[in-house]
Amino acid sequence: MDLDFKGLYDFHGHRCPMSTMGARLALAAMAALRVTKADQFLIEGRVFTKNCALDGIQYVTGCTLGNGNLSFEEAGRAAFLLKMRDGSREVIASVSDAALTRLSSHKKLKAELMEEREISGLPRAMEIDAEIARDFEVLVQWVQDAPEAELVTIVS
C-alpha cells in the first residue's frame, strides 16, 4: 500500500480513523477494479453515509461530489461503490465486521470516559483526556497498518 497519510490528513484537517478507513476502502476498491487515480474520469463512486470516510475516498480516488463523479445515498452503510462509467465493472468495498466492532469500541470507550470526566476532578480529567488520545492514536495506526482483509470486504 502506497498512501501519503500526511497528505490525507492535511486534506481532511486532522488525523482521523474514519478518513483513514475511507482511504483504505478506496484503495481496496480501486485495486479490485484495476484502476488508479489517473482514471478518475473513467470511474464514478457512491458513498452510503456521510462521515469522515468521505474525505479519504475523495482524496484517494480523485472522485468528488464537486466534479460529479461521486454521489451520496444515505443508507447508513459503511461502504463505497466504485464502478466504471461505461458500466462494464463495479465493486463494493465495505468496512469489515471486525473493523466496525473495533471502531465502535473506541466510540463507546470515549463516551464512557467523557461521562466519567464530567464528574471527576481536574487530575482525573487530564488522565482521561490522555487515555482517549492514546486510544485514538492506536486506532488510527491500526487502520493505517492492518492488512486489507482485516478492514475491508470486497463484493464484485
Q: Is the pLDDT of residue 119 over 90?
A: no
pLDDT digits (tens, 9 = 90+) for 28-43: 999 999 999 999 889 9
Q: Strands 90-95, 152-155: parallel, antiparallel or unpaired by DSSP?
A: antiparallel
Residue 26 C-alpha cell reads as: 478506496
- Taking 70 as the threshold, does the pLDDT of residue 102 lie above it? yes
Residue 49 per-residue DSSP state: S
Please state, in angstroms and as integers, the Cα–Cα distance from residue 11 to each residue in 3, 45, 134, following that order.
Answer: 13, 19, 23
Report the distance separating Cα 143 and Cα 19, nearest Å: 10
Q: Is the pLDDT of residue 100 over 80?
A: yes
Is-contact 53 22, C-beta < 8 A?
A: yes
Per-residue pLDDT at 123: 82
- What is residue 106's predicted lDDT score, i.e. its pLDDT? 87
pTM exceeds cut of 0.85? yes
pLDDT at residue 1 is higher than 70: no
Q: Which domains does the chain have, with CATH numbers?
A: 5-155 (3.30.1330.130)
Give the tens place of pLDDT for each residue, 42-60. Answer: 999 999 999 999 999 999 9
- On average, the pLDDT of the chain sits at 93
Give me the pLDDT at residue 125, please.
86
Q: What is the mean pLDDT of residues 66-88?
A: 93
From the list 51, 48, 58, 74, the residue with the least C-alpha distance to 23 is 58
